[in-house]
Structure 1
């Protein structure tokens, strides 16, 4: 089959690789009908994630038709149309029973390696390095889905692939980020990053009762999409973000902030920040928490910092003194997918939201994948989200 594979920093290829097969009784194999390139995939492309190996198959936003079913995967049958969550959950360990699905203790076969860095093993992830399990990803014609008796969501008739595909990751991720803001109604939320997660977080915050959402980015197409989603916007390339936020909120500041950028944030307001950002940009091993520091500074005292932005290891200087003295609360983590997939599917069915509005680029050939990775990374051609349909 054809699949998009990683061969080093900046080197994504469309290769011919062996077809997947049932390896465990809880597996299914699907024919991939739609998959997407995620902002997290760009971290892999940039060489920021350790333990990637040449030839690894990428992708963790995937859905498709069940072709084969392992004997223990009795919840699914051949022909079912399913959305596959990017995290894997066994459904049996204490974390799964607590509902902490992304902290599953059993689905990462390389958990010992991960525990050396994080202290504990966490859930296995599709297409996201060997420290998270070494599982093949879903930017391919076919995908083996382990623990399929627990995670995948069966899609009802009448909904298109594009309407439900993002239930695999970014829609639940955006919703968890908004939920972590502790909204009760009437709040102002500021969101750093108007990529796919940031824009969907605008929608989710408004659904959960926020009165105002302010989106912060500098790419015109992304800012336009955030406004379409219902946000006011700030271009961080113009003036001090802090000054603009204080002016927009009458000096009160946002009640909660969402950092939806992650480890590759760029920018600075002060000379000290500019020097720090430049040093970190030249050091691959040091992740850049500039957006996080801006969010910490901007959040009103006693507020909440929600961080769906991905970090893999050590980050550069973080404003912990500001965080502590302002009495802020930080909420973060990989998304507990099984909490959100079914309720958000119901919101789509009810017509409350159609997440497909963020898609800018589509292709029916995986051969286009390497160039589309570059287009998405470089924010060219108005690219906000890429969807691939490997079988046309």
Structure 2
């Protein structure tokens, strides 16, 4: 986890500009999104909200003190606004990427970005670590064939929001995060659902890719 997901989740909160005492909403409760939530808790966020629709992932978010928001049951934006008394979250994290989709499975590459613009307050900050690519060889959205999305830039500009984006420089964070684990301040292992031998890797990848319930993070042990 120090080689990828924990530093990337931490990086997303850095891109968003999170400070102690601020509220933050995280779209996506996969491994990176959960690590962003864990990072926000460590950094002293006042409210951590996590948006997803997989019950097992939302339960993990709740297990570390975050507020789980199931966007298959109601509007995530409305719930964020309700929890922040109509102001919006101070910060937001995009941990989904261009394969974001609605509860019916229809892909909308712009969905989480536009929801973040609506969810985050005026002058708030948004961090983006979900993967967006210049070309999509098999897009459900024709516009995204060229890596383009319909983005609500007018509202983003009007609200004076800042957006930080880009891949994580893991080496910029992993030593500090290692020490947080060593001292007991950070426990990223809470997301691990299975520890398997290497011969079980293909089936494990299939379960994880299908978002099967209970398959949140797999550790492979070649000697097992």
Residue 250 of structure 1 deviates from its aligned partner by 0.9
Q: Which structure shows the bigger proportion of residues in helix conformation?
A: 2
Residue in structure 2 matched with residue 321 of structure 1 by the alignment: 154
Determine whether 1:372 maps to 2:204: yes
Where do residues 51-130 of structure 1 align in structure 2 (5 Å cutoff)? none
Residue in structure 1 matched with residue 111 of structure 2 by the alignment: 290
**Once the two structures are superposed, what CA deviation does each residue of 1:124-170 show, in whole Å capped at 9, x if it has no partner?**
xxxxxxxxxxxxxxxxxxxxxxxxxxxxxxxxxxxxxxxxxx10000
How many residues get paired?
212
Determine whether 1:337 maps to 2:149: no
Equivalent of residue 183 in structure 2, options 350, 366, 373: 350
Determine whether 1:169 maps to 2:4: yes
Residue 184 of structure 1 deviates from its aligned partner by 2.7
Residue 309 of structure 1 deviates from its aligned partner by 0.7
Contact 1:202 1:230 survives alignment (8 Å): no
Runs of 5+ consecutive residues of structure 1 not aligned to the other structure: 1-165, 269-273, 282-286
Residue in structure 1 matched with residue 124 of structure 2 by the alignment: 303
**Once the two structures are superposed, what CA deviation does each residue of 1:20-45 show, in whole Å capped at 9, x if it has no partner?**
xxxxxxxxxxxxxxxxxxxxxxxxxx
* Cα separation, 1, equivalents of 2:148 and 2:6: 26
Runs of 5+ consecutive residues of structure 2 not aligned to the other structure: 135-146
Equivalent of residue 259 in structure 1, options 94, 98, 102: 94
* Cα separation, 1, equivalents of 2:113 and 2:148: 10
Determine whether 1:211 maps to 2:24: no
**Once the two structures are superposed, what CA deviation does each residue of 1:323-366 show, in whole Å capped at 9, x if it has no partner?**
1221110011111111111111111111111211111122112x
Residue 200 of structure 1 deviates from its aligned partner by 1.3
Determine whether 1:388 maps to 2:220: yes
Contact 1:188 1:254 survives alignment (8 Å): yes
Equivalent of residue 225 in structure 1, options 60, 64, 69: 60
* Cα separation, 2, equivalents of 1:379 and 1:182: 30
Contact 2:81 2:88 survives alignment (8 Å): yes
* Cα separation, 2, equivalents of 1:388 and 1:184: 35
* Cα separation, 1, equivalents of 2:205 and 2:126: 30
Q: Under a length normalisation based on structure 1, what TM-score does the superposition of the two structures give?
A: 0.52
* Cα separation, 2, equivalents of 1:216 and 1:293: 14
Residue 171 of structure 1 deviates from its aligned partner by 0.6
Contact 2:116 2:126 survives alignment (8 Å): yes
Please identify runs of 4+ aligned residues in structure 1 that moved more than 2 A: none
Determine whether 1:244 maps to 2:79: yes
Q: Under a length normalisation based on structure 2, what TM-score does the superposition of the two structures give?
A: 0.89
**Once the two structures are superposed, what CA deviation does each residue of 1:252-294 show, in whole Å capped at 9, x if it has no partner?**
11011001111210128xxxxx9xx94xx3xxxxx71211211
Give the root-mean-square deviation of aligned CA atoms: 1.7
Residue in structure 2 matched with residue 70 of structure 1 by the alignment: none
Determine whether 1:181 maps to 2:13: no
Highest Rg: 1 or 2?
1
